[in-house]
Amino acid sequence: MQKKTRIVVTGMGAITPFGQGITSFWENLIAGKTAVRMTSDEQLRKWAPVTAEAATFSAEDFMERKLIRKTDRFSQMALAATAEALSDAGWKSREELNGDYDGNRVGIAMGCAFGGVQTLDEGMKRLAGGAAHAGPRLVPKSIPNAAAATIARQWGIHGPVITYSTACASSANAIGEASYWLRLGEADMVIAGGTECLFSPVILAGLRSAGALAVSGPEDDPGAWSRPFDAGRAGMVMGEGAGILILETYDHAVRRGAKIYAEFSGYGATNDAYHETAPDPTGFSAALAMTRALHQADIDPLQIDYVNAHATATQAGDAAESIALHEVFGNSLNRIPVSSIKGAVGHLLGAAAAVESIACIKALETETLPPTINCRQKDASAPADIVPDLSRHHRKIGFALSNSFGFGGQNGVLIWKNAASL
């Protein structure tokens, strides 16, 4: 492996609960706003009273009706985010992309925990209503790799196209594993990220039964139900969306004159081997993943200037992550700002790491730290500085670390380096 092969981000795209595009996401995030609202669907509201829906996203704004009929919402969001990311990187069409890159040398690494659950719901409803069949498109629309496969067809991509399904760490693993393709010379450019829409009665009911969802909070303020690091936190709020990054080798990005947003610096992956849903309370493997990412980046913990925490606002999860952070950073954690954006956009599950990586990259670019909102009484075990309530100017952010921890004990950690130092 060419360990020193440098990898950079040259394009970004997102669909989030704040709307379409990177600009909408970032401006609302640093303004301290929340996209968490009362759940619009009455049936879903029984299981999840509040959610962070991408309410303004309409597939019709991004694709033809024929393609909409062939795809589930999670694929549609991925397609829209990919189009933005590729356009941002300089390619507005399949022909333009193929002018710079051989489609055989382009890959797609997508993170997704479940796939097209809304299509599955529709099929079950049809059968329950007496229909003789569920429809020929049910399987190709609902399989977890449908989003990546559709993107490949739309853009003429013939390289490695792989979907990673590792719960909340899915898109962290997708981005991290994509880096190996570039370093091994298996691809010259990779579309990497994640997508998720789990607004399904059975999924939300299952998460509620597992004790993961926030089911109570201020009735007059649904936007305050997601409370990362708060002593009285009561569970996560489900969100939906997609985040896409364009990863290229540094040398090729420079040759084609691309704008470079950040450098991919390090990746660590581990498993708790502890419990199917609960994190290891010692934080051992979460800390190990951070240590591995630091080792790959070849930097000291003291060089991290910002941590984007996984912090979903569950009692056990936030506590275990706090312990892991203290283990890795020691007393220096007191000077490192740590924040979770899940108070603002909820938990995007398989898309969370990709969207949160975008937040890290924007923090590096703008010297602005996104806040942790809704933490009214900080848990005693939480990091000292969680950037409470309001965004903050922070000069010279050199490295940002992003944590993603999920069911099944899956841990994925990414480190991003400021492009100004390239």
Q: In which residue are the tokens 């996401």 written?
A: 25
Instruction: Give the pLDDT confidence score for residue 1 in this predicted structure.
Output: 43
Instruction: Quote helix, strand, coil % in the chain, to nearest 5.
Output: 40, 20, 35
Name the nearest CA neighbour of 111 among 15, 19, 191, 213.
Answer: 191
379 pLDDT more than 60: yes
Mean pLDDT (whole number) for 353-372: 98
- Residue 220 confidence (pLDDT): 84
Q: Model confidence at 316, in pLDDT bands (50, 70, 90)? A: very high
End-to-end CA gap in the chain: 22
Give the model confidence (pLDDT) of 146-178 as tens digits: 999 999 999 999 999 999 999 999 999 999 999
CATH architecture of the domain with range 267-409:
3-Layer(aba) Sandwich (3.40)
Residue 421: the pLDDT is 81
Q: Decide if pLDDT at 370 tops 60.
A: yes
**DSSP state for residue 274 in the 8-state scheme:** S
Residues in the chain: 422
For residue 331, give the DSSP letter.
G
Q: Categorize the per-residue pLDDT at 291 as very low, low, confident or very high, splitting at 50, 70 and 90.
A: very high
- Among residues 102, 36, 66, 38, the alpha carbon closest in space to that of 313 is found at 36
71-95 residue pLDDT tens: 999 999 999 999 999 999 999 999 9
Alpha carbons 266 and 172: distance in angstroms, whole number: 11
CA-CA-CA-CA dihedral for 207, 340, 151, 181, to nearest 10: -110
Mean pLDDT of the chain: 96
Provide the pLDDT for residue 211: 94
CA separation for the pair 389, 159 (Å, rounded):
43
What is 18-36 written as a DSSP string?
A: TEESHHHHHHHHHTT----
Strand 19-20 versus strand 7-16 pairing type: antiparallel
Report the alpha-carbon angle 105-295-325, nearest 5. Answer: 115
Q: What's the pTM? A: 0.97
pLDDT beyond 50 at 298 = yes
pLDDT at 4: 77
**Percent of the chain predicted with pLDDT > 70:** 99
Predicted local distance difference test score (pLDDT) of residue 422? 83
Contact (Cβ atoms closer than 8 angstroms) between residue 228 and residue 309: yes
Annotated domain spans of the chain:
7-255, 267-409
Which residues are marked as active site?
A: 168, 310, 347
The pLDDT value given to residue 41:
95
For residue 216, is pLDDT > 90?
A: no
The residue to which tokens 């706090």 are assigned: 322
The DSSP call for residue 70 is T
Domain 7-255 falls in which CATH fold? Peroxisomal Thiolase; Chain A, domain 1 (3.40.47)
Average pLDDT rounded to a whole number, residues 179-205: 97
DSSP 381: T
pLDDT in tens, 5-41: 999 999 999 999 999 999 999 999 999 999 999 999 9
- Using a pLDDT cut of 90, give the percent of the chain over it: 94
Give the span between the Cα atoms of 366 and 410, in whole angstroms: 31
What b/e string do you get for 44-71 counting C-beta neighbours within 10 Å, with b at 16 or more?
A: beebbbbbbbbeebebeebbeeebbebb
C-alpha span between 85 and 244 (Å, rounded): 6
pLDDT of 251 > 50? The answer is yes
The reply to whether 7-255 and 267-409 are identical in fold is: yes
- Other residues' Cβ atoms within 10 Å of the Cβ of residue 130: 6
pLDDT for 3: 54
Residue 273: predicted pLDDT: 97
